[in-house]
Structure 1
């Protein structure tokens, strides 16, 4: 039998390691910019690094599941022992997915606080978001380990026990995560549109801050995939879910680093400066060094 018996298994391995390579490069650039160019290393950077570490764990789990456990293969080609291991992988997959998304959301909200933190209303909204992110992450971990009693009943039908509706539970968590992602993407828009800069520049900033929208698309596909996990072709559907999990996690990590790309490019071009020296550079310096603070009172008036 070939190493990868299905297109899903092959696509999972290829996409995982290609995007994993890019995620490592982006995080390295982000750390270079934060440490070398700005001389800072904060909680948001720690959260981004931890998200990458957890994602590497998710990649390892998915790789092992594909290579050894038959994940991504059709049920007719999977042995009983492989099926039980694949079922175990669902728990690990959901737990790691929840943890990495919590880190990504925390990093994103802290990055936005660095930019818009001078606005009291934004600080309140961002801190509330982080609280709900923590609650959602803890809830996801609790569901993953307690949906079945005993936990072995999740993968072994011979174990006497009971399980809740796993599909409903996981889909509910995904919908909650999708709402959180929508909120954090929409939150800075009302403040960006009031900045005193060109319309084109505003659209560019909104586009950069919306880089995480691609993760929302992945989440939507995961919600659809979760409805199929308990189907008669469990191992194959689990392979598709694993592919979406690694893609979503890696793209989320990459999106946390996009704000560092422009300073890095300017550094390579030899035009980087920590502080603006003239009005000509006004539109090319980091957003947090621009006019958010100048318009703080105007923002507060529109709470």
Structure 2
């Protein structure tokens, strides 16, 4: 049975998963910037950082596709020795780029949190978590680069020297990765729960932040695939884990973008609702500003009375702190004030 399956290949499914998830990540970043442009919101530091993570996602995608091209997803026994060496070299680069991508995504999410919750305590918590993430990235890159002594033994096992337990290092770096994911997702929950609002509204805001929680499940599944790794057949046993590294990166970008898409969804739903209710509107009042209406009616004017006009102005205003940003925290405290202004004049004098 083993001999019959030695020529089995999963390159097609890994290639398709790599490309499709990369495209999906790009789509969500485009939607993120479209949402901010449509609402006239300024581009923040978190937006620039998520854009940087997209470039690293492209690099992760490119390296994984290159490894697949040279035989990742097939058994080592059917690959030329030169291909296995190339895969080992690419794998070292892949580990570094993957960690950089994940770290940048997490920093982007923390920057978004710091923008939404500009309190000193929250910023300190975000800085601490960000420092842990940066330390994790640096540590994993060092472990990946210096996994063997001499360095060349990482892709040429025939050389004399020593290497770390590669499977153990993969599992070891996955644990803090998952824990920081959970910590980052949980960070705003306590703050939101302390807001002066109804339980329903607080839960709805928390749900906005937890939209990206599925990245934890992708990280956990990638972690489970690492136990399949056997150094004697790296191209076959590590191929799934590498592809899921890419899926995790793309899922992280999607998770970071989901809360920022609220303005786009609100705008689309408002347009849909507006088209339905247009026929029932009678006041014509919409948005902020002054609207004027001529309420003179000659049919109701007593005989002999000089015709006049009355101008009724209805003003709808919003507080200065009203925001169109992604998280609806402002709706907890926003109030709308209406003021009637009336003036009349005699048409004979006008």
TM-score class, shorter: 0.7 to 0.9
Is the contact made by 1:75 and 1:234 (CA closer than 8 Å) also made in structure 2? yes
Is the contact made by 2:181 and 2:216 (CA closer than 8 Å) also made in structure 1? yes
CA distance in 2: counterparts of 1:241 and 1:266, whole angstroms? 38
1:147 maps to what in 2?
Answer: 147
The SS at the match of 2:66 is helix
The SS at the match of 2:110 is helix
- 1:207 positional shift: 2.6
Quickly say closer, same or farther: Cα 1:74–1:124, change in 2 above 3 A: same
2:214 maps to what in 1?
Answer: 214
CA distance in 1: counterparts of 2:63 and 2:199, whole angstroms? 45
1:109 maps to what in 2?
Answer: 110
Moved more, 185-194 or 207-216: 207-216
- 1:204 positional shift: 3.0
Q: Bigger relative contact order, structure 1 or 2, given CA contacts below 8 A and separation 6+?
A: 1
2:72 maps to what in 1?
Answer: 71
The SS at the match of 1:195 is coil
1:191-270 matched pairs, under 5 angstroms: 191-269=191-269
CA distance in 2: counterparts of 1:292 and 1:108, whole angstroms? 23
CA distance in 2: counterparts of 1:92 and 1:274, whole angstroms? 54
Which of 13, 16, 19 in structure 2 is aligned with 1:17? 19
CA distance in 2: counterparts of 1:10 and 1:96, whole angstroms? 23
Moved more, 6-15 or 26-35: 6-15
- 1:169 positional shift: 2.2
CA distance in 2: counterparts of 1:160 and 1:121, whole angstroms? 52
Quickly say closer, same or farther: Cα 1:253–1:89, change in 2 above 3 A: same
CA distance in 1: counterparts of 2:287 and 2:138, whole angstroms? 39
- 1:231 positional shift: 4.2
CA distance in 1: counterparts of 2:188 and 2:234, whole angstroms? 40
Cα-to-partner distance string for 1:51-71 (whole Å, 9 max, x where unaligned)? 11101111011111112x100
Is the contact made by 1:45 and 1:107 (CA closer than 8 Å) also made in structure 2? yes
Is the contact made by 1:11 and 1:243 (CA closer than 8 Å) also made in structure 2? no
CA distance in 2: counterparts of 1:43 and 1:150, whole angstroms? 40
- Runs of 4+ aligned structure 1 residues displaced above 6 Å come to 272-276, 282-285, 291-294
Q: Please state which structure has a larger fraction of its residues in helix.
A: 1
CA distance in 1: counterparts of 2:327 and 2:62, whole angstroms? 37
Is the contact made by 2:189 and 2:206 (CA closer than 8 Å) also made in structure 1? yes
Is the contact made by 2:259 and 2:327 (CA closer than 8 Å) also made in structure 1? no
Cα-to-partner distance string for 1:21-62 (whole Å, 9 max, x where unaligned)? 221111111122334523412221111011111011110111
CA distance in 2: counterparts of 1:88 and 1:292, whole angstroms? 54
1:128 maps to what in 2?
Answer: 128
Q: Please state which structure has a larger fraction of its residues in strand.
A: 2
- 1:120 positional shift: 2.3
The SS at the match of 1:232 is helix
1:87 maps to what in 2?
Answer: 88
2:162 maps to what in 1?
Answer: 162
Note the aligned Cα RMSD (angstroms): 2.9
1:97 maps to what in 2?
Answer: 98
CA distance in 1: counterparts of 2:265 and 2:331, whole angstroms? 22
CA distance in 2: counterparts of 1:283 and 1:42, whole angstroms? 15
1:301 maps to what in 2?
Answer: none
CA distance in 2: counterparts of 1:11 and 1:201, whole angstroms? 42
CA distance in 1: counterparts of 2:46 and 2:246, whole angstroms? 21
The structure number with the bigger radius of gyration is 2
Structure 2: gaps (5+ residues): 1-6, 275-285, 289-315, 335-350
Which of 40, 43, 53 in structure 2 is aligned with 1:41? 43
